[in-house]
Amino acid sequence: MEPSERETSAGTLLVGIGTLHNLVGVAISARLVPDPTLEVLAGGRNPFVELLSGGLEVDGAADPLRLAFFWFFFFGFVVVLCGLAVRALERARLAVPRSLTAGLLALTLLGVATMPASGFWFVFAPVALLVRRSLRAAADARLARVEPR
């Protein structure tokens, strides 16, 4: 179901979160945003530039930092793609599958549990919208079945 004019699009929020995720990764890698952990691990290297210039083949055993940045950016792109799919369903006034909503909720809970100081918290906003719309649609369907005609 597409959000009304007043409602926020969960898909648009996911696209924004995924885009922001990757922009933060670029900023951290370029040292525009200080990250003490990266300073210790990278020792002056720029993993983002290395990914672009050295090819996308990543050997995690040989270079765990480069592997971490690969998955950081990969996940950001997956969130953007998921957001585009959700936005397309919303615009077509189709329900977002409950399995997708449940999967996003599970990923968000797991992400927050394993990395509490991360951006996973932001994903609760679009997931909450999707859960609320799913519950509302289920309640509307139940009412439609019991209303006399």
**Cα separation values, 105 from 23, 121, 130, Å:** 23, 11, 10
pTM for the model: 0.80
Inside any domain, residue 111: yes
Domain that residue 90 falls in: 10-146
Those residues whose C-beta lies under 8 Å from the C-beta of residue 84, and which sit 6 or more positions away, are 11, 15
Give the C-alpha separation, 15 to 62, whole Å: 32
pLDDT in tens, 21-60: 999 888 877 777 777 666 666 666 666 666 666 665 666 5
Give the C-alpha separation, 91 to 4, whole Å: 10
pLDDT in tens, 74-121: 899 999 999 999 999 999 999 999 999 999 999 999 999 998 988 899
Inside any domain, residue 25: yes
CA dihedral for 96, 102, 107, 109, sign (positive or negative) = positive
Inside any domain, residue 122: yes
Confidence of residue 122 (pLDDT cuts 50, 70, 90): very high
How many domains are there within the chain? 1
Inside any domain, residue 1: no
- 46's enclosing H/E stretch is none
